[in-house]
């Protein structure tokens, strides 16, 4: 049974790279009828941020990445929060001391700082303390850490994405496994937990590649089976730099706030390092579960292209079932457009294919509440065969015609404008173009003169048409 885990540290917002890791772990588990586990890695107490756990839960829920075991739902391998597993790590660290694969280190900060200043890794000063010295120090409550003893030789391992990697052990330091506060480092806890939680596939960012030999030496020291490793390439921005908050959106929360839909984000993120066998670009989560293959992961850095995500978002908006879109867009209309008695459903229908973000919809209708300042030359349109002169004459006829209407439905308005065309031997564009410019003050609107007139109501429409006359006359 394949078991994967998402193991975030609760240090703030969910970075795009972390969400991609979670997604791939989820997909690897789900595409193999396996289990996806959530584990909170909070052993670095200095980096904890309030509410960060909630952000993790919320993110996975919004993204639709349901886990099978985790802190809030339990499971057979809990607790799933590392700070609640303190005793477990200590027990295993002591076992390593027993077998000579780890040792107590009582070096104080000054000593370590001076090594650090000289750019030296730990010099094994405490490696050969006698049992008596160790006991004496422990009894005197001298603060200590427990370090891994790295043996001579080479360590080779296979990563599913990066292939075979060999590292000379001389490049690895005797890293700390248990810190002076009694809590494990990430480097130790991840190995112990991945083993105890029976994790088969470890997915994480490629920044962990260089530490992996140390983890493997730990697995070997315990006689545990090494998991399958899947390290993921970096995600870079359009300038080839590491994604960061400073250079724009770097977290899931940022993107949601900017108006990206969760499904669009997930779809886009799925493609940052993985490519399907076909040219398909749009995937629902269940489709990804079917298609995802570890062998199609790439080791070249992925480029996070906001323009592409924006486009994808607009496509997702187009694909939304209308009722869902309408429910999402309605509050924006209600909040942004003051005029009441509008047919919001109609506005929604006209918006769905024209926006990148749902919140943009009201801006398509910004002319309703207030006629924008517009240039009189908008009336001139070669293809529509309109000029400043004929627009002036035609608008006069339109005002006359519409002014006589007693009922103001779209059918009535349309019939009147069509009558103006027919009765005066004009082209459609010569009537509808100037009418729309006069009513909206814009040359691009999501609907035509008829709909706009109906939205505005009779008196406002006539006012705007008359205002256009004064503009044209004053020209
Ligand atoms: N807690 C680590 C992090 O947030 C997890 C790395 C891993 O998945 O092993 O980066």
The DSSP secondary structure of 33-101, one letter per residue, reads: T-EEEE-B----GGG--TTHHHHHHHHHHHHT---SBBTTTB-TT---BGGGGHHHHHHHHHHHHHTTS
* Residue 41 CB less than 6 A away from ligand 1: yes
Q: Hey, where are the domains in the chain? A: 84-232, 322-365, 376-473
CATH architecture of the domain covering 376-473: Orthogonal Bundle (1.10)
Residue 190 burial class via C-beta count within 10 angstroms: exposed 0-12, middle 13-18, buried 19 and up: buried
* Residue 7 CB less than 6 A away from ligand 1: yes
Residue closest by Cα to atom 10 of ligand 1: 8
C-alpha to C-alpha distance for 31 and 29, rounded to whole angstroms: 6
Taking the centre of ligand 1 as the mean of its atom positions, its distance from the CA of residue 239, in whole angstroms, is 26
Q: Which two tokens stand for residue 393?
A: 């004459």
Mutate to test the pocket of ligand 1, among 4, 6, 8, 231 (most ligand atoms within 8 A of CB): 8
Which residues lie closer than 8 Å to 159 by C-beta, 6 or more apart? 165, 209, 212, 229, 230, 231
Taking the centre of ligand 1 as the mean of its atom positions, its distance from the CA of residue 398, in whole angstroms, is 69
Mutate to test the pocket of ligand 1, among 52, 191, 208, 228 (most ligand atoms within 8 A of CB): 208
**pTM value?**
0.90
Taking the centre of ligand 1 as the mean of its atom positions, its distance from the CA of residue 249, in whole angstroms, is 21
Which residues lie closer than 8 Å to 136 by C-beta, 6 or more apart? none
Mutate to test the pocket of ligand 1, among 24, 41, 81 (most ligand atoms within 8 A of CB): 41
pLDDT in tens for each of the 475 residues of the chain? 999 999 999 988 899 999 999 999 999 999 999 999 999 999 988 887 888 999 999 999 999 999 999 999 999 999 999 999 999 999 999 999 999 999 999 999 999 999 999 988 999 999 999 999 999 999 999 999 999 999 999 999 999 999 999 999 999 999 999 999 999 999 999 999 999 999 999 999 999 999 999 999 999 999 999 999 999 999 998 888 888 766 666 799 999 999 999 999 999 999 999 999 999 999 999 999 999 999 999 999 999 999 999 999 999 999 999 999 999 999 999 999 999 999 999 999 999 999 999 999 999 999 999 999 999 999 999 999 999 999 999 999 999 999 999 999 999 999 999 999 999 999 999 999 999 999 999 999 999 999 999 999 999 999 999 999 999 998 7
C-alpha to C-alpha distance for 24 and 291, rounded to whole angstroms: 12
Residue 289 burial class via C-beta count within 10 angstroms: exposed 0-12, middle 13-18, buried 19 and up: middle
Q: In the chain, what is the straight-line distance between the N-terminal and C-terminal CA atoms, in Å?
A: 79
Classified as helix, coil or strand, 322 is: helix
* Residue 193 CB less than 6 A away from ligand 1: no
Taking the centre of ligand 1 as the mean of its atom positions, its distance from the CA of residue 39, in whole angstroms, is 10
Nearest to 24 by CA among 271, 254, 189, 284: 271
Catalytic annotation, residues: 245
Q: What Cα–Cα distance (Å) separates residue 162 from each residue in 166, 200, 356, 427? A: 11, 18, 37, 66
Radius of gyration of the chain (CA): 33
Taking the centre of ligand 1 as the mean of its atom positions, its distance from the CA of residue 202, in whole angstroms, is 10
Q: What is the position in ligand 1's atom list of the atom closest to the CA of 203? A: 8
Nearest to 1 by CA among 32, 23, 46: 32
Angle among Cα 252, 256, 260 to the nearest 5 degrees reads: 110
Q: In what order do the strands lie in the sheet with 102-105?
A: 102-105, 145-148, 176-178
C-alpha to C-alpha distance for 12 and 47, rounded to whole angstroms: 9
CATH class of 84-232: alpha beta
Taking the centre of ligand 1 as the mean of its atom positions, its distance from the CA of residue 9, in whole angstroms, is 7
* Residue 190 CB less than 6 A away from ligand 1: yes
Q: What is the DSSP letter of 104?
A: E
* Residue 9 CB less than 6 A away from ligand 1: yes
């Amino acid at each position: 049974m394949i078991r994967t885990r998402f193991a975030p540290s609760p240090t703030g917002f969910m970075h795009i790279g972390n969400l991609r890791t979670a997604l791939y772990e989820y997909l690897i588990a789900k595409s193999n009828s396996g289990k996806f586990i959530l584990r909170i890695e909070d052993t670095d107490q200095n980096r904890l941020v309030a509410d960060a756990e909630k952000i993790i839960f919320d993110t996975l829920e919004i993204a639709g990445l349901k886990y099978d075991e985790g802190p809030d739902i339990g499971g057979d391998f809990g607790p799933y929060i590392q700070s609640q597993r303190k005793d477990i790590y200590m027990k295993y660290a002591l076992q390593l001391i027993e077998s000579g694969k780890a040792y107590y280190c009582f070096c104080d900060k000054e000593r370590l700082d001076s090594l650090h200043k000289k750019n030296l890794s730990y010099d094994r000063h405490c490696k050969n303390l006698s049992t008596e010295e160790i006991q004496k120090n422990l009894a005197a409550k001298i603060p200590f850490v427990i370090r891994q003893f790295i043996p001579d030789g080479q360590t080779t391992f296979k990563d599913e994405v990066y292939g075979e990697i060999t590292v000379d052990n001389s490049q690895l330091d005797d890293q700390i496994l248990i810190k002076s506060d009694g809590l494990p480092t990430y480097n130790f806890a991840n190995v112990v937990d991945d083993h105890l939680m029976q994790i088969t596939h470890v997915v994480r960012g490629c920044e962990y590649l260089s530490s992996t030999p140390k983890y493997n030496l730990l697995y070997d020291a315990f006689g545990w089976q090494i998991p399958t490793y899947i390290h993921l390439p970096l995600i870079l921005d359009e300038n080839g730099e590491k994604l960061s908050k400073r250079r724009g959106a770097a977290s899931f929360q940022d993107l949601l706030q900017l108006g990206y839909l969760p499904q669009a984000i997930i779809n886009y993120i799925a493609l940052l390092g993985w490519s399907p066998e076909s040219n398909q670009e749009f995937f629902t989560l269940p489709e990804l579960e079917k298609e995802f293959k570890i062998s199609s992961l790439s080791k070249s850095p992925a480029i996070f292209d906001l323009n592409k995500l924006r486009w994808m978002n607009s496509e997702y908006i187009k694909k939304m079932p209308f009722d869902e879109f309408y429910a999402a867009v309605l509050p924006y209309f209600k909040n942004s457009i003051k005029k009441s008695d509008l047919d919001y459903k109609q506005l929604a229908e006209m918006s769905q294919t024209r926006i990148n973000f749902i919140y943009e919809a009201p801006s398509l209708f910004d002319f309703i509440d207030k006629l924008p300042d517009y240039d009189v030359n908008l009336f001139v349109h070669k293809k529509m065969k309109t000029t400043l002169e004929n627009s002036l004459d035609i608008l006069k006829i339109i005002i006359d015609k519409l002014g006589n209407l007693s009922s103001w439905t779209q059918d009535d308005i349309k019939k009147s404008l069509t009558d103006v065309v027919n009765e005066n031997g004009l082209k459609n564009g010569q009537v509808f173009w100037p009418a729309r410019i006069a009513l909206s003050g814009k040359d691009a609107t999501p609907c035509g003169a008829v709909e706009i007139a109906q939205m505005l109501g009779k008196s406002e429409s006539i006012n705007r048409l008359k205002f256009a006359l004064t503009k044209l006359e004053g020209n």
